[in-house]
Amino acid sequence: MSTSNKTMVTKAHRPGPAGSRLNRTSRGRSVAEMQSVPDSATADEERAFMSAIVVGLADLEAGCDLPLAEAKARLGLK
């Protein structure tokens, strides 16, 4: 195949739905961007952590908090 017939993927990234990044070919078609399993697991953990932070902040705003001593007692810590 000659190089004139090859479709090249551009390096420019455009924001897509939900903040995803879209690669475009030289002909303007979208190209899927694959993610490795370890990267996907890391991203899932980061999303779960951030969700827990949001829930915790909502609890604080709603007045659902405990003194440190009481939290340690409930968890069985000294």
Domain count, the chain: 1
Q: Does residue 2 lie in a domain region?
A: no
pLDDT in tens, 37-63: 999 999 999 999 999 999 999 999 999
How far out from the chain centre does Cα 53 lie?
14
- pLDDT band at residue 1 under the 50/70/90 scheme: very low
Q: Is residue 23 part of a domain?
A: yes
Residue 19 lies in a domain: yes
What pLDDT sits at residue 68? 94
With contact defined as beta carbons under 8 Å apart, do 49 and 42 qualify? no
- Statement: residue 9 has pLDDT above 80: no
In a domain, 1, yes or no: no
Q: DSSP assignment, residue 28?
A: S
Mean pLDDT, range 9-24, rounded to an integer: 58
Q: Tell me, yes or no, whether 13 lies in a domain.
A: yes
Question: Is residue 24 over pLDDT 60?
Answer: yes
